[in-house]
Chains A and B, each alone.
Chain A
Amino acid sequence: MKLSPDEIIFWEYGFININLTIVTTWALMLILVISSRLITRNLKVEIHISRWQVILEIIVIMISNQIKEIGLEKPEKYIGFIGTLFLFIGLANLFVIFPWYQPPTSSLSATAALAISVFLSVPYFGIGKKGFGGYLKSYLKPTFIMLPFNLISEVSRTLALAIRLFGNIMSGGMIVAILLSIAPFIFPVIMNVLGLLTGMIQAYIFSILATVYIAGAVKIKAI
């Protein structure tokens, strides 16, 4: 039994290899980029707009409202990063409706890459808002005794982000694979539907948690 799509390797040279995870990620990136390019090619502000523009507007407004509710005042600055995270993970988990598709989020390397990008974006946005010294001072809140705990929480929440997404998606695929060998007729379909729901919730949670972490670094407290 294969635990992750990392083990299917197409091309290998030294320690560099191209496996199914990378290929699927590239395909998803291509789909996202080409479709958003096609939709935003002729945007209109008239009464009659195309259906795709309506769908895109709904998604963008929903994400920016969520970001605003968490406490980031200007969502336009952050929607590029957080919205991409949500759309990528959501699409990667949604495509399990296609046969022989293995979601790249069921490999620990892909989720670790996403979590590391969140880990790096927190100081990026924090320094951009408060300056270098102001960002470093946020590690000393509320007192300097909390410094090691703040540093530990930086690392552990990144690890938790990666493992949470990986475990949820991998367990969905694993349950379907086990059920296929026990009761292959109807029951795996039901578990697959449940996996779709879990995938969308995990995409939502991943982007919400990224927003919460960024908001924690950006927020200016009046102390």
Chain B
Amino acid sequence: MDDLTLIAVVSIITAGFTTAVGTMFPAIGEGRALSKALSSIAQQPDSSATITRTLFVGLAMIESTAIYCFVLSMILVFANPFWNHFIQ
């Protein structure tokens, strides 16, 4: 296996693994946050506006970790700096 093949194999496997792990745990976290917020709204419908806004902000915070993983795997697959280095 030459250098290019090795980089391609490692990059593709790492990209898939990054997406797998990086979507799994934020999904668990967002599910827990959403279920908690839903039960809070069911208990206190009056404060649903505040709960919804805080939920959106919190979900955005959680989701940004998943977005980091997505951007990383996109870079690995489509704009790999090591691959470009060895092609030249």
Contacts and interface: CB of A to CB of B under 8 A. Distances in A.
A69 interface: yes
A135 to B, nearest CB: 23
Interface of A: 1, 3, 66, 69-70, 160, 163-164, 166-168, 170-171, 174, 201-202, 204-205, 208-209, 212
Interface residues of B, number: 16
Contacts of A202: 60
Contacts of B71: 163, 166-167, 170
Given A3-B74, A69-B49, A164 B57 contact: no
Interface of B: 49-50, 53, 56-57, 60-61, 63-64, 67-68, 70-71, 74, 78-79
B78 A1 contact: yes
A160 B79 CA distance: 21
B57 A208 contact: yes
B74 A163 contact: no
B64 A160 contact: yes
Contact of A69 (B53, B63, B64, B68): B53
A3 B50 contact: no
Given A1-B78, A3-B78, A3-B79, A171 B56 contact: no
Contacts of B49: 69
Given A171-B70, A208-B56, 20 more contacts: A1-B78, A3-B74, A66-B53, A69-B49, A69-B50, A69-B53, A163-B67, A163-B68, A164-B63, A164-B64, A164-B67, A166-B71, A168-B63, A168-B67, A201-B56, A205-B60, A208-B53, A208-B57, A209-B60, A212-B57
Nearest to B50: A69
B64 to A, nearest CB: 5
Nearest to A165: B67
Nearest to A205: B60
Nearest to A70: B53
Contacts of B63: 164, 168
A212 B54 CA distance: 11
